[in-house]
Amino acid sequence: MLEIQDLKVTHGPIEAVHGIALTVAEGACVTLLGPNGAGKTSTLSAITGTARSTGLIRLAGTDISRLPVEARAKRGIAISPEGRRIFSNLTVRENLVMGAAGRRDKSAIGSDIRGWFEQFPILGERRDQPAGTLSGGEQQMLAIARALMSRPRILLLDEPSLGLAPQITARIFDIIGDLKRQGITILLVEQNATAAIELSDYVYVLNNGLISSEGPAERYGDGSALMDQITGVHG
């Protein structure tokens, strides 16, 4: 579904990612792990087109490297960003409608919203509530559901457990597991290696803008060794 070759990402004069390659198969959950500053979010920003980058990015076999953000979204890339970035002053339902803004099949949007309310019952209960009044975990659920409203080919999840209590983090990873079982292709950026590896098919470890390790999730066991590496390395 997604293929990246020789990806370099720059922020002004600083090169944050130094020519990495990765692949996400259709229906797979692939995790990109690494410490703060390793280049994980920069990689996702390059995929969505919001960061300056060079190299090859293919989506379902089509080169999208030079396409603008809007065109990439229409081709099937959606992101639940770090920090959630929900529309605080809009209701929960209005946030979901915003997620479907680029769709042409307007008649199906209502049924999709109802479907996600069934999958995320707490959002259904709070459908008319301003999104800014939701808890952190509820806002994360909303950010994921909003991204899915575009019916993406691939869902990018940037640090979905960031700042959440352990119990809520477990619920978020349960939700990601459910999405994987539904056949949704996922590229997950995380620092919680233990939880991420448990539901991943393949893992890349990013350090200082370079892939330092990669392999099937089983290779990394329960993720404890990676957790030590991630928390002990500063990129």
* Domain ranges for the chain: 2-85+154-232
Name the pTM for this structure: 0.91
Q: What is the pLDDT of residues 201-229, one digit of tens each?
A: 999 999 999 999 999 999 988 877 777 67
Which positions ≥6 away from 97 have C-beta within 8 Å? 109, 113, 149
Give the mean model confidence (pLDDT) for residues 62-69.
96
What is d(CA 217, CA 180) in angstroms, rounded to the nearest whole number?
A: 15
pLDDT of residue 234: 38
**pLDDT average, residue stretch 196-204:** 95
pLDDT of amino acid 191: 82
Q: Please list, residue by residue across 98-133, b when 16 or more beta carbons sit within 10 angstroms of its beta carbon and e when fewer do.
A: ebbeeeeeeeebeebbeebbebbeebeebeeebbee
86-140 residue pLDDT tens: 999 999 999 999 999 888 888 899 999 999 999 899 999 999 999 999 999 999 9
The superfamily (CATH) of domain 2-85+154-232 is P-loop containing nucleotide triphosphate hydrolases (3.40.50.300)
Q: How many Å apart are CA 88 and CA 194, to the nearest integer?
A: 31
